[in-house]
Amino acid sequence: MVVGRPSMPVRTRVAALTSAALLLSSLTAIGAATAAEPTAGSAATAAGDAASGDAAEAWAAKVEDDVQHTLAAGGTTDVMIAFEDRADLAAAARVDDWDERGEAVVTALMETAEESQRATRAELDAAGADYEAYWIANAILVRDATEEIARRVAAQPGVDQVLEVAQYEVPELLPAEDAPAVQAAAPEWGVAAVHADRVWTDVDVRGEGLVIANIDTGVQFDHPALAASYRGMNADGTVTHDYHWYDPAHICPSSAPCDNQGHGTHTMGTMAGGDAGGTAIGVAPGARWIAAKGCEATAQVACSITSLVASGQWTLAPTDASGRNPRTDLRPHVVNNSWGADTLGFADPFYDQIVDAWNAAGVFAVFSSGNDGANGCTTVGSPADSPGAYAVGAHDPANLIAPFSSRGPGPNDRIRPDIAAPGVAVRSSVPGSAYGTANGTSMAAPHVTATVALMWSAAPSLIGDIDGTRELLGTTAVDTPNEECGGTEERNNAFGEGRLDAYAAVTASPIGATGLLSGVVTDDESGEPVPGVLLRASSDGYQRTTVTGPDGRYDMTLVAGAYELTATAYGYAPGGSAGVTVAEGATTTLDVGLTRLPSVTVSGTVTDRPGQGWPLYAGISIAGYPHGTVWTDPATGRYEVELPATTAYTLTVRPQAEGYATSSRVVEVGDDDLTADFAATVETTECLAPGYAPAHTGAFASFDDGLPAGWAVQTTRGNGWETGDTGGRGNLTGGDGGFASIDSASGQLLEDGVLASAPADLSAVAAPVLSFRTDLLLSRGVAEADVSVDGGATWQNVWRRTAHSRGPRQEQVPLPEAAGRDDVRVRFHYRNDIANNGWWQLDDVLLGARTCEPVEGGIVLGQVRDDRTGAALDGATVTSDDGSVTATTTATPADPELGGGFYSTFVPGSGDHELTAEHDLGQHGTQRRTVTVEPGAVTRADFELGTGELEVSSAVVEETVEVGGTRTATVTVTNVGTAPASFELAERNTSFEQQRDTLATLPGAPLRRAIVPDDGGPLDPAAAAAADAGA
């Protein structure tokens, strides 16, 4: 057996025994025996050593669950090994020269990867593994990894994770209606909407001297709109693909660029396309382009993380066609990434590193925010939610946010997206030397990417200035209010900073003779540098802003002239200086001292607005507050925060329970402590807040029993509106039971039909709405809702869609004109222009007012922890004997002080309830307690679950045994924990050592000789008998 840990008590946690003496008997070979260290949630084996124990821990902690399951079943799989070390790129990012800056960044990345990957690569080489190492993201791809390889790798120091090779969805060209008509040679609507054409004419800049890249499905390089701007196109008409095109998975049939899906050609056209198709499709037609095929776009593979990482690395240091001889001086200035994935359960540790490397090297990284807006807030995808990425949402020709455009907030309540750009009915190039129209944030992002090229082309001093470029894009964007997902009129989680204005961004850039303004901002009292200070230089309507770094230093490239400099920072009085002169080609140094403000305590309580009136667990975001979200106590709803005095703050309250509205209020803080209470309102759209039940006044149709009385169907073509599940898809609206639908895909027909309601008396309804559940699949056509307040004499359109609006989805439209009317009607009209394409499902239609009525009961909440370590236990269940309580504890990553293991549930009624907490994994015991529920109140019930912990008397048990003999050894295992524990004793076959000096003393077998024929055949029976006799 294998020698284990040193001879000292070994403690570990398992599930279940009190105390036992274990007998190891019938040892048949010389060796060391030990009771193996048990692991939580599993049986203990009486064998183990330090190496195997550490390897087991590394396997469990570092190897992704799906990888473990695949390999443990005997299979192989591709894995990505992520390493802990990160290169320090700060010094490289400060290098002024473009070529030297790129080289410095790549050198730092390569050196870090070489050092941290060395031992693991040696292991992989020894195992004969097929692998590829990356330096831009400190990672290694291992193809067809076995369990043995994964275990050995996981045990290596410096390895952070062993992950499944992820895939992103292929970014589809979302179907769209025809783009708005434009005159021949005129710019497409999106180009005109961002005023790029004014940059061409007024500033005489089209992106000359700049290089744009996309990581996408590829590009048709000889498309008439793109061929002239391809960097691989030589002056003599020949083409060179080295350093200009990269296909890491070798999808294209030759070394030339290809696009087997169409998406990449479309996005590149919006960036650098010309007017060969009759209209100007590109924002920066003077820029050159290169491309990497990060999306395989095949039936087997969408966009693999391996191709995306390889493409990200190539973008920073393009190579020749063989993948050798990288040249950082040929990296692009801007890279467009119109791809991504939703963040539900998704974690990508690699692209954050890539974006950081791009930024350090001065490459501006643009990402589409995603097309998941139909699912509401917090839907911005990854990597667009990365802190270093510049995320782009989509708006339509009417300057409305596109329904599909993903909304923020992002992680840590960051405003996302950063900006919005045209992304509906965008016409651009597609493979086959053709043109097509598409929807998507994929179409919006290229407008921003190309705008950066225009800015840097007009103002070369901006090249590589990532923060300065972001600031200019944001401050010149057109503010567009949107309250859907929080924020302000100036910055919100639908439009970000607003709608892109390329002309304003370019003309605000430092065009012409420039100089540098730099300095350090310090605390007046301590002299210490102050990071995060916002500095604004203003001169006759022109202004630039920047933020100090960790060392308090700032730098701004400005057009030569006189400026007023202001410095503002949280906790300090504003500072700065007037009459600052910046001279051409010179550096002006201006240090700024700031005076710290006194602080006061702002405190209060967040409660449910009556209704129930109970305290609420909520996060409070404070504009300008640098320390993150302030959280209320879950049981009392109280919060407390220190804020600088004599300042106004906007506090935004987001209750954590589902079904409450987010609210904001300006709080004026004076010289004294202040109380600011908040009352949260229940959202009536679906009535999901705990302790409330939906109710309504007016007319309601559920379609459970077919078409309600008074409703009518008018069919122009096709089968028209029907009730029941004619398409066999189930109810996709989010409702249950019956529904109404008009279904082109089911009948394979063109459909055009109207579903009209019965009259509704709303004479007693003060604030009526039209509310309905919906699932709409529509490529070309229209779905709309009209309302009549005069019995059908006249109609007004109140809701209209011309593209997908997939369910489950609840729509609610205010109808102020219907208040007090006694004959209100609604009609739903659907028309599609492509047969066998799409449907519209409707359910739970309300004309009237939706309310949420309180239900008698209370809230029970608390945390479940380990009784010995105090660690939070996520995934534990809390249940009641009567079935009224069923809750599961969850992590609280946004509120680290709470620490997870948290549950909260509504309990109807009142009185005593017996609650039991337990953990599904079984390594913990259970705990029961009686909880008294009071109506309209919050009751806290915390649980601490015991665990078994075994102490082994000796880690090594060793005996010498003669062959044929027996020995007995005893090891004592004691449960010193607080819950029952059990384990299993097993034998491990690790061979044995036989003493040579015992061989002569052992009894020998009788000597026997036999005559064996040499013909290779069996012995002749007679010869065998003779041999036996001779023996």
What residues are annotated to the active site? 216, 263, 442
Distance CA(397)–CA(499), nearest Å, equals 11
Span between the terminal Cα atoms of the chain, in Å? 42
Q: What are the φ/ψ torsions at residue 696 (nearest 5 degrees)?
A: -155, 160
Write the DSSP assignment of 939-976 as a string of letters.
EE--EEE-BEEEEES-S-EEE---TT----EEEEEEE-
Please list the alpha-helical segments (H only) found in 759-897.
Answer: none
Distance CA(355)–CA(367), nearest Å, equals 10
Q: Are the beta carbons of 702 and 740 closer than 8 angstroms?
A: no
Residue type, 688: L
- The DSSP code for 660 is B
Q: Are the beta carbons of 843 and 703 closer than 8 angstroms?
A: yes
Q: How many CB atoms lie within 10 A of CB 757?
A: 21
Q: What are the residues facing 596 on neighbouring strands?
A: 572
Strands 390-395 and 419-422, by their bridges, are parallel
The vertex-28 CA angle with 23 and 31, nearest 5°, equals: 80
Strands 943-945 and 857-866, by their bridges, are parallel
Name the burial class of residue 705, with classes exposed (0-12), middle (13-18) and buried (19+) by CB atoms within 10 angstroms of its CB.
exposed
Distance CA(638)–CA(963), nearest Å, equals 74
Please list the alpha-helical segments (H only) found in 232-367.
Answer: 263-272, 305-316, 351-360
Distance CA(271)–CA(264), nearest Å, equals 11
Q: Are the beta carbons of 606 and 653 closer than 8 angstroms?
A: yes
Residues 6+ apart with CB under 8 A from 986: 43, 45, 46, 47
Q: Within its chain, how far is the Cα of 433 from the centroid?
A: 35
Show the tokens assigned to 84.
């802990």
User: Rounded to whole angstroms, what are the CA distances from 955 to 10, 358, 787, 806?
Assistant: 7, 51, 80, 61
Distance CA(912)–CA(906), nearest Å, equals 14
Residues 6+ apart with CB under 8 A from 193: 397, 422, 499
Q: Are the beta carbons of 620 and 652 closer than 8 angstroms?
A: yes
Compute, in degrees rounded to 10, the torsion defined by CA atoms 905, 907, 913, 918: -20
Q: How many CB atoms lie within 10 A of CB 150?
A: 26
Q: The tokens 């604030």 sit on which residue?
A: 767
Residue type, 1011: I
Distance CA(79)–CA(146), nearest Å, equals 10
Secondary structure element (H or E) that encloses residue 337, with its range = strand 334-337
Show the tokens assigned to 741.
């639908």
User: Rounded to whole angstroms, what are the CA distances from 557 to 330, 467, 582, 814, 822?
Assistant: 24, 12, 9, 49, 65
The vertex-973 CA angle with 968 and 974, nearest 5°, equals: 145
Residue type, 230: Y
Show the tokens assigned to 578.
């007037």
User: Rounded to whole angstroms, what are the CA distances from 252 to 138, 217, 229, 296?
Assistant: 28, 10, 21, 9
User: Rounded to whole angstroms, what are the CA distances from 691 to 655, 660, 681, 853?
Assistant: 14, 12, 13, 8
